Amino acid sequence: MEYVMTRTTAEWQAADAAHFLHPFTDFQALAKKGSRIITSAENIYLRDSEGHRILDAMSGLWCVNVGYGRQELIDAATRQLRELPFYNSFFQTTTPPAVELAELLAEVMPPGFQHVFYAGSGSEGNDTVVRMVRRYWDLQGQPERQVIISRWNGYHGSTMAGASLGGMKYMHAQGGLPIPGITHIEQPYWWLHGRPAGLCRAEFGKVAAGWLEQKILEVGPEKVAAFIAEPIQGAGGVIVPPETYWPEIQRICDQYGVLLVSDEVICGFGRTGHWFGCQTVGSRPDLITFAKGVTSGYIPLGGVMVGERVAKVLIEQGGEFEHGYTYSGHPVACAVALANIRLIRELKLVEHVHDELGPYLAEQFAQLGEHPLVGEAQTCGAMGALLLVKDRASGEAFPGELEIGMLCRGHCFGNGLIMRAVGDRMIIAPPLVMTLAQVDEMVALIRRCLDLTLADVRARGWMP
Ligand SMILES: *Cc1c(COP(=O)(O)O)cnc(C)c1O
C-alpha cells in the first residue's frame, strides 16, 4: 500500500496518461478512460489503488506460475543483487547463477537438450531462433535453407523477427512486416476451419498439419529452414489443436529435414501439465524458446534451449556465433529463475496441474460450455478458453462490430476477475498454485460474468 498513499488514483492516472505509452494500447482512448493502477498482489489476487481485490486468472501475462509474493524468489533476487548485480558473459566470463541455471534447465528439459542461449525475453529468444537456424543451415552447407514457416494467429513476440514469425495481421500492418524469408500457414483452429467444412476434429488435425507439407513443397524443401509453433496457441486465444495434429507435424518435419521450433514461452514450466508443452502434445523439437514462466515473471528472462542436432553443429563447426545480448545470462534473472524452478519442483506444481488442477478445470469448463452464450469450451492443463457465440446450435458468431469479448471482459473487470478477451474467445491461464477451492471461486465469477453478459446482450436485442 506504500505507493498508493503517495498519490490519489486520479493523480496516478494523469501522470500515466501524460508520460507512459503503454504496449498494444490506443494511447488516446486509454488517457480518456484512465489506467487501472495495480498496487500489490498476493498468491492469485491483485489489489488496485481503489482497494479492490481481483482474482488474476491470467497470471499477470501468462507468467506468474508460482503466484505472487513468494519469498523464495524475493530472497534469491536480493541476495544476488547484493553479491553481484551484473556481469556480462561476452568476454570469456560467466557467473555462478547463469551456470547453475543452464545446468538445471538441462535437467528439467526433455531429453536431448543440454545447452541454453540466454536472452532477455520471449521476443529476443525468437530473434535468436531466426539467427540460429539460419546459421545452422549455413554451417551445414545449405545456405539456401533460409525460410521459416509459422502460423497465422500464432504469437511469437513483438520485435521485428518476433512479430514477423507471429501471425497477427494487425501487427504486420504496422512497420512493413513480415521481414523477408518468413511465411505463414493457417492455424489448426477446428471451430473456424474444420467445423464449417464438416470435418471431425481428428480428420481436421491431419488436414491442418497437411498445410505445412503443402507449404514446404510450394517453397521448395531445399529452401525451408524451420517450422515454429506454440504447442497450444496462447495469445491467439488458447486454441487447443486436435490430437492428430502434432504427430503429423512431426512426421512432416522429419520427412523434409526441417528443424522444429517449439515456442514454449507460455506452455513451458508446467502450464500444460508437463514441464513443457511438447511433452503434452508429443512433439520432438530441435529448439525450444522459453521466457515468462521461467522466472514466474518476477524479473525478465528468456532464451532458447538448443537440442543436440543444432548444438553439435554450432559448437563443433561454428566458430564464433556473432549474436548475443547485454543481458544474456543476467545473474539476478538467473538467480530468480533457479529459485522459481526449484520451487515448482518443491511444490510439485507440474504434478498438481497434471493430476488435480488440469482435470478439475476441464470438468468445470465443460459445465461452463453448457451456458447459452458458449459455443465451445476448451482447456489444456492450466489454460482454457470459452468461445462466445450468438447461436449454439448453428455456431453462428456475433457480428464482429459488437465486440462481444470486450463486453464480457468489462463485466469481468467490474466483478473482480481478470479474464482476457481474444476476439470472441474468453481465456484464462491462472497461476499454477491455484487450489481447487480457488477454481470454484473463479468459475463462479466466470459464470456470473457470462450471465451478466447474456442479460446485456438480450437487453441490447442482439440475441432472443
Ligand atoms: C509472450 C510470448 C512471446 C514474447 O515474449 P516477450 O517476453 O513478450 O517478448 C513469444 N512467444 C509466445 C508464445 C508468447 O506467449
3-state secondary structure labels for all residues of 247-312:
HHHHHHHHHHCCEEEEECCCCCCCCCCCCCHHHHHCCCCCEEEECHHHCCCCCCCEEEEEEHHHHH
pLDDT value, residue 207: 98
pLDDT tens string for the chain (464 positions)? 566 678 999 999 999 999 999 999 999 999 999 999 999 999 999 999 999 999 999 999 999 999 999 999 999 999 999 999 999 999 999 999 999 999 999 999 999 999 999 999 999 999 999 999 999 999 999 999 999 999 999 999 999 999 999 999 999 999 999 999 999 999 999 999 999 999 999 999 999 999 999 999 999 999 999 999 999 999 999 999 999 999 999 999 999 999 999 999 999 999 999 999 999 999 999 999 999 999 999 999 999 999 999 999 999 999 999 999 999 999 999 999 999 999 999 999 999 999 999 999 999 999 999 999 999 999 999 999 999 999 998 999 999 888 999 999 999 999 999 999 999 999 999 999 999 999 999 999 999 999 999 999 999 888 88
Domain ranges in the chain? 36-66+348-459, 72-346
Please give the DSSP secondary-structure letter assigned to residue 398: P
Q: Are the CB atoms for 227 and 261 separated by under 8 Å? A: yes
Q: Is 155 in the pocket of ligand 1 (CB under 6 A)?
A: yes
Could you give the CA distance from residue 65 to residue 434 in angstroms, rounded to a whole number?
9
Positive or negative torsion for Cα 131, 132, 135, 137: negative
Please give the DSSP secondary-structure letter assigned to residue 121: S
Give this prediction's pTM. 0.97
Cell of 59: 497470471
Which of 22, 156, 289, 330 to mutate for ligand 1's pocket (most ligand atoms within 8 Å of CB)? 156
CA distances 200 to 26, 191, 243, Å, are 40, 10, 12
CA of 246 to the centre of ligand 1 (A): 21
pLDDT value, residue 2: 60
Which of 24, 118, 266, 289 to mutate for ligand 1's pocket (most ligand atoms within 8 Å of CB)? 266
Cell of 344: 515448482
CATH superfamily for domain 36-66+348-459: Aspartate Aminotransferase, domain 1 (3.90.1150.10)
Q: Is 128 in the pocket of ligand 1 (CB under 6 A)?
A: no
Work out the widest C-alpha separation in the chain, in whole angstroms.
Answer: 69
| Cα–Cα nearest to 432, from 42, 44, 72, 40 | 44
pLDDT value, residue 462: 87
Q: Is 263 in the pocket of ligand 1 (CB under 6 A)?
A: yes
Positive or negative torsion for Cα 23, 26, 30, 33: negative
Q: Is 266 in the pocket of ligand 1 (CB under 6 A)?
A: yes
| Cα–Cα nearest to 261, from 141, 435, 131 | 131
Q: Is 122 in the pocket of ligand 1 (CB under 6 A)?
A: yes
Determine the CATH number of domain 72-346.
3.40.640.10
CB atoms within 10 A of CB 372: 13
Q: In whole angstroms, how large is the CA radius of gyration of the chain?
A: 22
CB-based contacts of 210, cutoff 8 Å, min separation 6:
248
